[in-house]
Amino acid sequence: MSSENEKSTVALEPLSDLGEPLEDAGALTQSRFRYQCECIAAVCIAMLVRDEIESVTCEWHEDYIISFRGGQLELVSVKHRESGRGPWSLNELCTRGGLIHLFDRWRLARANSTCRISTNAGLKTGPHEADELATACARVQSGEPGAEEEIAQFGDLIVDVLLSERQRQSDSSAPGGKESTKRRGRRQDSRQLRIDEQLDPAVTALRNEMCQFLACLQIESDLPPRSYISSHNILKLMAPALVDLGRDDADAEACYNTLLPKIEQANRDHDSQPRSMAAYLANPRRLAFDSQMIEKIGRRTLTRTDVKNCLVSRHSAGVRLTSLPASPTVNLRSSRLVKKMQAGGLGPTAVNAAVRLRSHWIAAWAEFRTDLPGDAAELADLKARVAHLAALAEAETRPAESYGVEMNRLLATLLHPEKLGRQFPMRLDPLHLLGLAYELCDECLIWFSEPFELEAG
């Protein structure tokens, strides 16, 4: 399955329902933030071995959004912090740590989403501090008694921070960028007004929303620092994933270094012109507008196929054909492969070798397949490319009266992984491809002579 076709089946509509991000300049500057890309890489690697992850979308409302099967979304905010600045306090986590921003984005998605803050900096301990908040969020999600009361307390605290932050932003927008004397007096009187806010229905609704948000928020504070996140992802994530896929973990670094630029490209997305909601509502061609939004999301979205296409091998030959015992699985006297090769003039040694290579291919594919949805598409694509090269070999040799021997010789030189036109997620030896060609011959898709009637055997 091609990446573009797969994206057409991925549920991009829930992301488009969020609308255009209010600010979209992030995608233009994310090429500088390699750390965020490396955090996304960890999710992409997990997508190889976790079937429930459908796709990852970069820089859409949050740093990235994970789409799961069934339509659920996880909005993730990544915050790197140098060790010298210490752990996040609750107030810092709300403002500079992205919690309030994440809350605003969650309000667009609501019940269909969960949220996560990912950081390397740790959380400040103590009463009503960030570490206690993370624990309360985890407790309420696991259904522990008393956790809802803790979340309600933190909800009140965070809403107070949110209202103060909005007041600060409003004050800073005053003429000259400074707080006027009148505004400063109003801010000093705000302590008394907090009592009235408790009775304000809008504030009460905001506090209820905040509690709902915290009940689906996860805070992870143990990410690797910038200095060795690459090594961590390669050794702890990519290498085990390759082993699970039946590949050589020696290729982990090469695969990771191929994946990362793909993520950076999705993060950049050069077509990042913001479109206002007013322009959208006034535009009679809204369907075209929505199509543009879907295309934009698609450019920022990475699917399992995108990631699998990054699984390169440093070896194009010298691969062991299979670790399974491969023995001929066909009747040497009656198989279609044998009859067709004999009709093409190939001798008994070449015929026996073809039968054995076909058997090796069947055993190898049993190891290569991952039982993920993309297996059938990968095999179909590989068959099409091998059949195309076989057609080239036939075109070169067919003018001769008996061309099977020459076609077989030329086919052996053409069938090489580097000539397939793309990287496949499995380590292929040229003899794998020749074995597949003989399998296609048995399926009557490749001939070594003029076609003739084959008896069922």
How far is it, in rounded angstroms, from Cα 334 to Cα 373?
35
Q: Does residue 245 contact residue 425 with C-beta atoms inside 8 Å?
A: yes
d(CA 14, CA 345): 60
Rg (CA), the chain: 30
Nearest CA to 57 out of 49, 225, 312, 47 is that of: 47
Kindly tell me the sign of the dihedral angle through the C-alpha atoms of 261, 263, 268, 273: positive
Q: b/e per residue, 327-348, with b = 16+ CB within 10 A?
A: eeebeeeebbbbbbbbbbbbee
**Residue with token string 């070896």:** 315
The mean-pLDDT minimum among 29-38, 116-125, 207-216, 360-369 falls in 29-38
The size of the chain, in residues, is 457
Q: What is the dihedral of CA 55, 311, 356, 456, to 10 degrees?
A: 30
Q: Which residue has the higher pLDDT, 179 or 100?
A: 100
Distance CA 387, CA 11 (A): 34
Q: How far is CA 177 from CA 173, 181, 188, in A?
A: 6, 13, 19
Tracing tokens 């605003």 back to the chain, one arrives at 104
Task: Please say if the pLDDT value at position 7 is more than 50.
Answer: yes
What confidence tens digit (pLDDT) does each residue in 135-149 have?
999 999 999 998 999
Which residue in 311, 314, 307 sits closest to 239, CA to CA?
Answer: 311
Q: H or E segment at 151? A: helix 147-172
Sign of CA dihedral 287, 291, 294, 296: negative
Q: What is the pLDDT of residues 40-60, one digit of tens each?
A: 999 999 999 999 999 999 988
pLDDT at 200 over 90: no
- pTM of the complete model: 0.61
Report the alpha-carbon distance of residue 30 to residue 25 in Å, rounded. Answer: 9
Per-residue tokens: 202: 């809008």
Structure tokens at 435: 């074995």
Residue percentage of the chain with pLDDT more than 70: 76
Query: What's the mean pLDDT in 79-91?
Result: 91
pLDDT greater than 70 at residue 223: yes
The confidence score (pLDDT) of residue 108 equals 85
- Of 426, 337, 329, 413, the residue nearest 379 (C-alpha): 426
Q: Which of 107, 48, 12 is nearest to 307 (CA)?
A: 48
Per-residue pLDDT of 176-185, as tens digits, reads: 555 455 545 4
Q: Is 42 helix (H, G, I), strand (E, B) or coil?
A: helix
Model confidence over 23-33: pLDDT tens digits?
544 443 443 47
405 closest CA partner among 351, 451, 329: 351
Confidence class of residue 230 from pLDDT cuts 50, 70 and 90? very high
Residue 116 β-bridge partners: 76, 218
Nearest to 39 by CA among 117, 145, 150: 117
Only one residue has tokens 């003989």, namely 438
